[in-house]
Amino acid sequence: MNYNYLGKTSIKVSEFALGCWPFAGGSVWGNQNKSDSISTVHSALANGINFFDTAEGYDDDFHSETILGEALKNSRNKSVIATKISPSNLFPKKIERACDNSLKRLGTDYIDLYQIHWPNHDVNIEDSINELNKLIQKGKIRSIGVCNFGVLDLKDILKVADISTNQIPYNLLWRPIEYEILPESINNNIGMICYSPLAQGLLTGRYKNPDEVPDGISRSRLFNKERPLANHGEEGCEEEVFIAIEKIRNIAFDLGEHPAKLALAWTRQQSNVTSLLVGARNKNELELNLSAFEYNLDEDVINNLSTITDSVKKYLGNNADMWNSKNRMR
């Protein structure tokens, strides 16, 4: 397993970050076995993964943080915990209480990376940062990160804070950050934590055509606005997406590899990427993706894969919001 620093910090994290949202179960993930969640964390540690990402906003009962804390209770010194504060708690009077509640659920006295889950334009970001800096001074958090921040929000927060990371969607089929967000992050030494590196399963080759894609996945801007759960008004680019998926599958076949392995390796080898956030509901799912973190693509393969998805990138433009035409990542 390879390790990178979180932005300008001295904190080293594995390139494979275990996404712990599935541990919440609930309406998004369905029933989730607690023992499976805990064994997944233990398997991650055994395979060199030290970076674990969760959030207070994952399900109504904060189940994800609680399960992760229980799983790491005897391995805290071997792990790096990232969690997130919800936008509704970014008001200065709410911040420390939200942090304390996360600390209690996680069973720890410090959080390595405390991330703003989404921007909240109803609060003064400087006031919020002042409170977050107080948490650093008290030893409750070690560093501050953001999630889903576009260039304007990054510029605003960089005026008042030293941000370590930006957690953002990035994969072969979702490349809007390459226009503006990625260059801004490189210029300011902000590490990229990339979520949805397999495009919610599209890049696994699991789906052969658009009709096979479940409603919960086909609500993204890659798909037509008529999809049942779509919350955008766009035509989508389904034809281009599945032409690209077929070409990626063919390259993987020629190399004797799984399409998911190529997709993860492509994202991992992009500039300024700190970690890929990969979810797993059990240790078997976790172990399926481990080999991609020891596998490097040749430069010509990287360029070929990029060319294959250039038409999708052009269609999406610089709006990195996966689900809304009105870009919430301003």
Which of 3, 58, 114, 295 is the catalytic position?
Answer: 58
The arithmetic mean of pLDDT across residues 323-330, rounded, is: 80
184-235 pLDDT, tens digit per residue, is: 999 999 999 999 999 999 999 889 999 999 988 899 999 999 999 999 999 9
97-138 pLDDT, tens digit per residue, is: 999 999 999 999 999 999 999 999 999 999 999 999 999 999
Q: Is 58 a catalytic residue?
A: yes
Per-residue pLDDT at 61 exceeds 80: no
CATH 3.90.1150.10 holds for 3-201+263-295: no
Cβ–Cβ < 8 Å for 281, 288: no
d(CA 225, CA 218): 9
Question: DSSP label at 221?
Answer: T
H/E stretch holding 198: none
Phi and psi dihedrals of 113, rounded to 5? -135, 115
Contacts 24+ apart (CB under 8 A), 150-154: 150/180, 150/181, 150/320, 150/327, 150/329, 150/330, 151/180, 151/181, 151/184, 151/330, 152/330, 153/119, 153/329, 153/330, 154/181, 154/184, 154/185, 154/188, 154/190
